[in-house]
Amino acid sequence: MKPQFNIIPVIVICLCALVSCRRTQPNAAPQKPPEASEAQNKSGVSEHPKAYVPVVGKRGGEWLNATISGPKSFNAVVSNETSTGSAIGPIFEGLTTADPDTLMPQPKLAESWHFAEDGSSCTFNLRAGVKWNDGMPFTADDVVFTYEKLYLNPEIPNSTGDILTIEDKRPKVVKVDELTVRFDLPWKYAPFVRAMSADILPLHKLGNLSAAEFQHHWGLDTPPSELVGTGPFKLVSYEPEQRLIYERNPHYWKKDAAGNQLPYLDRYITSIVKDLNVAYLKFKNKETDVYGLRPEDFQVLNPLQKQNDFTIYRLGPGTGCSFVFFNQNTNSNSETGKPFVQPHKLKWFRDARFRRAVAHALDRDTMINNVLYGLACPQYGPMTISEGFFFNPDVKKYDFDKRKSKALLAEMGFKDVDGDKVLEDEQGNKLQFTMLTNVENNVRVSLANIIAKDLKDLGMEINFQPMPFNPIVAKLDASYDWECVLLGLTGGPEPHFGSNIWTSRAYHHMWFPSQKMPSSDWEARIDELFTLGVQELDPEKRKVYYDEWQVISSEQLPLIYTVVQEMIVAVRNRFGNIHPTPHGGVTHNLEEIFVKE
Amino acid sequence: MASLIALAVFYLAAVFADFLSPYPYDNEERSHPNAPPTPLRFRRADGSARFLPFVYRTSYTFDENRGRVYVEDRSAEYPIRFFIPGEEHRILGLIPTRIHFFGVDAPARIYLLGADYLGRDRFSRILYGSRISLSIGLVGVSVSFVIGMLVGGIAGYFGGAVDNALMRVVEMVMLIPRFYLLLALRAALPEDISSVRMYFYIVFILSFLGWAGTARVVRGMVLSLREQDYVIAARALGRGHLWVIVRHILPNTLSYAIVSVTLAVPSGILGESALSLLGLGIQEPYASWGNMLAKAMNVAEIQFNPEVLWPGAFIFAVVMCFQFLGDGLRDAFDPMMEASGVKS
């Protein structure tokens, strides 16, 4: 009865998001991040009001934003890049949603839910009177169809289905009556309600498609009127590489406190621009209403707030991080028989002392002050403070102290025998390796330069190579022939959704993927903690497991975390009900945003 | 002529970069990110004048907009000293010495053109970068001209089927837009290689780009030269084809070649800069003008650190010099070419 997790390739996309991690987030409508409890409020920068109570607004107006990557598809099930997610975000809704401040699940299409006494099922009461944007009523049939035929269909590989599948066992979805749905669960699953935030799709539009047909359905060539959702807006036009235009959904179910139908805005327009410089200039020239700032933009935009009538919101540390990690793969290439990592290097990389030595050589102050204009914080563990409840601040922290690094390396037997300023191990192998990072991300390249220089000072001969993102992913996922990489991931408030990275069987267990048996004791313990954590329904008890996971990861350092950037967005003052949060971005309450006067 | 002198200065500066620059290219002072050019002072705090300029030590704080504000510490003066001992280097790669042409005593820093994000002196890095940027263009283009002249010579001399085949190949190469060929060739080479090997790869890429045009022109010239009496005479004396091409025909195209090499060098420099600018060429911490200029791709950065554009100014100056030099050389060679035509 020991459930083991299937490999859950959810954060594949996070991997994709890594490339765009820094590139999409500072964009209009940052989709990811959560609650920041320590929004530093200096220099007259507005802090969002803690308790958000929407005011009654009025109809009309448009919201303009810009993104640097357009959608790759409109299919919410199959495709899950950030760009697609933000393009279909205003059109569809899930049963639940995460509260932008507390991050707790909130009702959306489901009005309420309750678990059976023994935890074997969960029943959702759907909201009455909800209509699709073509006027058809939304019923339990749509929910059953979306989960049974799409997300939980083994013939359609998708991340929601993977999250909900444990040991090949999937929940069964049963229609109780027109507005009630019951999920029969084969296992105890703590974050179940949170996982129910996946978009619900219309049975009357998609019901007659086979699984194979569905996977290619709703591509970019779909007529906008076919994209039928329950969300506040509907797509009216998509011009590739130019813009997406949405109009208000006249059938939207939500009403404001005065009983007026939402949304307030008539139109929502996203321009697709070439790069962040263009997005920045567009905002500065008042062509867009919202912009996610890069650290260097702050000094330009901050003084312009009054004059150009916008407000900058500093939301505290985001959830996108950057970390260094080493290849610990003990396997060999099955075709050539060559080990993925040279054996003597593998011995260094698998030694926690080596990774700790590197951790002590990370000059986080320089990274923060020189590259990120002081708008970042050091990060030591796998979760950030903005990820809320499960964040454990008491992980092992590594100060910047090269003497400690040198002592650790000396303890491992490294010595500069031939006096060329490069250390040799006891067998006389030179301490040299190649470090990769993706060239598209300027910040990451700068961080890598700082790291490379400090490691060089320690006596490591580093060959630093920025290269395009896709070849790096190919190395990480398929050919495994890499030594050291600096990359990032976007996290979330629910640690279990990181199990596709952290459990040793996982395909994206980046430092040694798809292990049959955990290759070390601490990896075995992390596997165990994730298994325990997902089945424990009491949040306080769950937190104990995930706290231990964070401590182990900070001691063993499979991923050596560097810094996490602050999230900063600027929004024009003419809008009401603006309440940006790190997790929800600016547009989590899009339907309530209105144009003042 | 002025451009020849200017180029001589640039190349000499490149050769003696480690002596002329106050700091090595990878010397960091992390407490001085994006420092502005250090002001040279002639007047002391109390108003009295000094003959030699001096600098103050600086430090920065963030203002409320997260801009960096540098302030001078007026308590101590650091005069600029010439032939000052600093980091060890080897002049011409041979003579080990610690002497640098100029500098200031630590802990003050002198940044004539400001510093980059790690507090590395931009002036020093431009000097070191000129070694790569200036030599890579010259070497790459020279190699491509050797290839171009040989191919053109062979095609023109033999004519017929050989000529036809070679010229079709040339046309194929010329068909591909230059910049895309540059990117495609870069993509075909391995990604994770050291910077030294990258240097040679770029030379290889650049030499692959320029030879086609030269080959075509040289072939045209050779078509007429091979009918000259001295060529026929050499053949009659039983010399081999290659000997005739290399000894008798190609020297006559040399004046053309020299001019067009001069005019082609800038394209080599720009090619390297373009690759490095895109992050696909020379990597930090090594300096090249292209990779230094990459920082200027950010609008906000330019607004607050206009100094990031300096490498661009140097590229501009050198390219201009080569163009003027090429023009001048053509004017100088033209009468000679006519004279040689009459003589034979």
| Distance of alpha carbon B116 from alpha carbon B123, whole angstroms | 10
Of the candidates A43, A363, A366, the beta carbon closest to that of B64 is on A43
Identify the residue with better confidence: B219 or A35.
Answer: B219
Please give the pLDDT value at position B250: 83
Cβ under 8 Å to B: A residues 407-436:
434, 436
**Closest C-alpha among A492, A458, A488, A484 to residue A562:** A488
Of the candidates B66, B191, B285, the beta carbon closest to that of A453 is on B285
Please give the pLDDT value at position A4: 36
| Distance of alpha carbon B68 from alpha carbon B61, whole angstroms | 6
Q: At CA B329, angle to CA B325 and CA B333, rounded to 5?
A: 175
pLDDT in tens, A352-374: 999 999 999 999 999 999 899 88
- Tally helices (H) and strands (E) across chain A: 19, 19
Q: Residue A188 pLDDT > 70, yes or no?
A: yes
Yes or no, beta carbons of A446 and B66 under 8 Å apart = no
- Tell me the nearest-neighbour CA distance from B187 into chain A, angstroms: 10
| Distance of alpha carbon A493 from alpha carbon A102, whole angstroms | 10
Please give the pLDDT value at position B336: 57
Beta carbons within 10 angstroms of residue B22's beta carbon: 22
3-state SS, residue A327: coil
Closest chain B residue to the Cα of A304, Cα to Cα? B65
| Distance of alpha carbon B34 from alpha carbon B44, whole angstroms | 26
Please give the pLDDT value at position B335: 61
pLDDT cut 70: percent of chain B above it = 96
Please give the pLDDT value at position A22: 32
Please give the pLDDT value at position A3: 37
Q: In chain A, which residues have their Cβ closer than 8 Å to the Cβ of B279?
A: 439, 445, 466
Q: Is A40 on the interface with B (CB under 8 A)?
A: no
Please give the C-alpha separations between residue A374 and each of A40, A377, B35, B250, in angstroms, as whole numbers: 12, 8, 16, 62
Q: Is A297 on the interface with B (CB under 8 A)?
A: yes
Of the candidates B26, B28, B194, the beta carbon closest to that of A463 is on B194
Count of pairs with CB atoms under 8 A, one residue in A, one in B: 82
Phi, psi of A145 (to 5 degrees): -60, -50
Place of tokens 């909800």: A130
ipTM score over 0.85, yes or no = no
Q: Residue A180 pLDDT > 70, yes or no?
A: yes
Q: Residue B342 pLDDT > 50, yes or no?
A: no
Cβ under 8 Å to A: B residues 11-50:
26, 28, 30, 33-34
> In whole numbers, what is the pLDDT of chain B averaged over residues?
84
Yes or no, beta carbons of A463 and B28 under 8 Å apart = no
Place of tokens 């801009």: B67
Q: Residue A14 pLDDT > 50, yes or no?
A: no
Please give the pLDDT value at position A33: 31
Residue type, B109: R
| Confidence at B344, pLDDT banded by 50, 70, 90 | very low
Q: Is B306 on the interface with A (CB under 8 A)?
A: no
Q: Residue A78 pLDDT > 60, yes or no?
A: yes
User: What are the structural domains of chain B?
Assistant: 38-110 (no CATH), 127-340 (1.10.3720.10)
Please give the C-alpha separations between residue A453 and each of A38, A364, A447, A459, B27, in angstroms, as whole numbers: 32, 13, 10, 10, 10
Q: Residue A570 pLDDT > 90, yes or no?
A: yes
Of the candidates B117, B119, B303, the beta carbon closest to that of A300 is on B303
Please give the pLDDT value at position A7: 34
| Distance of alpha carbon A301 from alpha carbon B99, whole angstroms | 45
| Confidence at A161, pLDDT banded by 50, 70, 90 | confident
Query: What mean pLDDT do residues B38-59 have?
Result: 84
Q: Residue A538 pLDDT > 50, yes or no?
A: yes
Query: A214 Cβ partners below 8 Å, 6+ apart?
Result: A75, A77, A78, A150, A156, A206
- Tell me the nearest-neighbour CA distance from A43 into chain B, angstroms: 5
Yes or no, beta carbons of B192 and A280 under 8 Å apart = no
**Pairing mode of beta strands A432-438, A484-490:** parallel
Residue type, A201: L
Please give the pLDDT value at position A47: 47
pLDDT cut 70: percent of chain A above it = 91
pLDDT in tens, B122-161: 999 999 999 888 888 888 888 888 888 888 888 888 888 9
Contact A384, A34 (CB under 8 A): no
Of the candidates A303, A369, A466, the beta carbon closest to that of B33 is on A369
Yes or no, beta carbons of B300 and A300 under 8 Å apart = yes
| Distance of alpha carbon A280 from alpha carbon A202, whole angstroms | 37
Query: B37 Cβ partners below 8 Å, 6+ apart?
Result: B111, B112, B113, B114, B307
Query: A256 Cβ partners below 8 Å, 6+ apart?
Result: A54, A56, A57, A262, A592
| Distance of alpha carbon B103 from alpha carbon B162, whole angstroms | 60
| Distance of alpha carbon A484 from alpha carbon A326, whole angstroms | 4
Please give the pLDDT value at position A120: 85
3-state SS, residue B214: helix
| Distance of alpha carbon B302 from alpha carbon A223, whole angstroms | 43
| Confidence at A43, pLDDT banded by 50, 70, 90 | very low
Q: Residue A51 pLDDT > 80, yes or no?
A: no
| Distance of alpha carbon B272 from alpha carbon B269, whole angstroms | 5
Q: In chain A, which residues have their Cβ closer than 8 Å to the Cβ of B33?
A: 369-370
| A107, β-bridge pairs | A96
CA A343 and chain centroid, separation: 34
Q: Which of A312, A366, A482 to mutate to test the interface with B (most CBs of B within 10 A)?
A: A366
| Distance of alpha carbon B310 from alpha carbon B302, whole angstroms | 11
Residue type, A91: I
| Distance of alpha carbon B9 from alpha carbon B18, whole angstroms | 15
Q: Residue A29 pLDDT > 60, yes or no?
A: no
Which of A157-161, A465-469, A575-579 has the largest mean confidence?
A: A575-579
Query: B92 Cβ partners below 8 Å, 6+ apart?
Result: B15, B16
Q: Residue A31 pLDDT > 60, yes or no?
A: no
| Distance of alpha carbon A582 from alpha carbon A568, whole angstroms | 9
- Tell me the nearest-neighbour CA distance from A180 into chain B, angstroms: 53
| Distance of alpha carbon A181 from alpha carbon A179, whole angstroms | 7
Q: Is B227 on the interface with A (CB under 8 A)?
A: no
CA A497 and chain centroid, separation: 10
Contact A427, A464 (CB under 8 A): no
Q: Residue A485 pLDDT > 50, yes or no?
A: yes
Beta carbons within 10 angstroms of residue A224's beta carbon: 16
pTM of structure = 0.81
- Tell me the nearest-neighbour CA distance from B165 into chain A, angstroms: 37
- Tell me the nearest-neighbour CA distance from B192 into chain A, angstroms: 6
Identify the residue with better confidence: A233 or A583.
Answer: A233
Yes or no, beta carbons of A453 and B300 under 8 Å apart = no
The mean-pLDDT minimum among A1-15, A85-99, B215-229 falls in: A1-15
Query: B47 Cβ partners below 8 Å, 6+ apart?
Result: none
Query: A148 Cβ partners below 8 Å, 6+ apart?
Result: A172, A173
Phi, psi of A246 (to 5 degrees): -115, 150
- Tell me the nearest-neighbour CA distance from A501 into chain B, angstroms: 26
Contact A64, A271 (CB under 8 A): yes
Q: Is B189 on the interface with A (CB under 8 A)?
A: no
**Pairing mode of beta strands A267-272, A461-467:** unpaired
Yes or no, beta carbons of A277 and B285 under 8 Å apart = no
Closest chain B residue to the Cα of A369, Cα to Cα? B33
Place of tokens 């006891």: A426
Please give the pLDDT value at position A388: 77
pLDDT in tens, B157-192: 888 898 999 999 898 888 888 788 778 877 777 766
Yes or no, beta carbons of A44 and B64 under 8 Å apart = yes
CA atoms within 13 A on the CB side of A592: 19
- Tell me the nearest-neighbour CA distance from A63 into chain B, angstroms: 25
Contact A25, A32 (CB under 8 A): yes
| Distance of alpha carbon B163 from alpha carbon B226, whole angstroms | 13
Of the candidates A44, A281, A465, the beta carbon closest to that of B299 is on A281
Closest chain B residue to the Cα of A297, Cα to Cα? B300
Q: Residue A224 pLDDT > 50, yes or no?
A: yes
Q: Is A52 on the interface with B (CB under 8 A)?
A: no
| Distance of alpha carbon A115 from alpha carbon A551, whole angstroms | 32
Q: Is the dihedral of CA A359, A361, A364, A367 positive or negative?
A: negative
| Distance of alpha carbon A127 from alpha carbon B84, whole angstroms | 80
Q: Residue A18 pLDDT > 60, yes or no?
A: no
Q: In chain A, which residues have their Cβ closer than 8 Å to the Cβ of B30?
A: 363, 366, 370
Q: At CA A358, angle to CA A353 and CA A362, rounded to 5?
A: 145
Q: What is the largest CA-CA distance in chain B?
A: 87
- Tell me the nearest-neighbour CA distance from B1 into chain A, angstroms: 42
Q: Residue A26 pLDDT > 60, yes or no?
A: no
Yes or no, beta carbons of A298 and B65 under 8 Å apart = yes
Identify the residue with better confidence: A584 or A22.
Answer: A584
Yes or no, beta carbons of A296 and B301 under 8 Å apart = yes
Please give the pLDDT value at position B315: 92
| Distance of alpha carbon A373 from alpha carbon A402, whole angstroms | 24
Query: What mean pLDDT do residues A47-76 have?
Result: 82
> In whole numbers, what is the pLDDT of chain A averaged over residues?
84
pLDDT in tens, B12-44: 998 888 888 888 888 888 888 888 898 888 888
Place of tokens 């990274």: A367
| Confidence at A11, pLDDT banded by 50, 70, 90 | very low
Please give the pLDDT value at position B337: 54
Q: Residue A119 pLDDT > 60, yes or no?
A: yes
Query: What mean pLDDT do residues A433-438 have?
Result: 89
Yes or no, beta carbons of A465 and B283 under 8 Å apart = yes
**Closest C-alpha among B141, B115, B130 to residue B311:** B130
Query: B208 Cβ partners below 8 Å, 6+ apart?
Result: B144, B181, B185
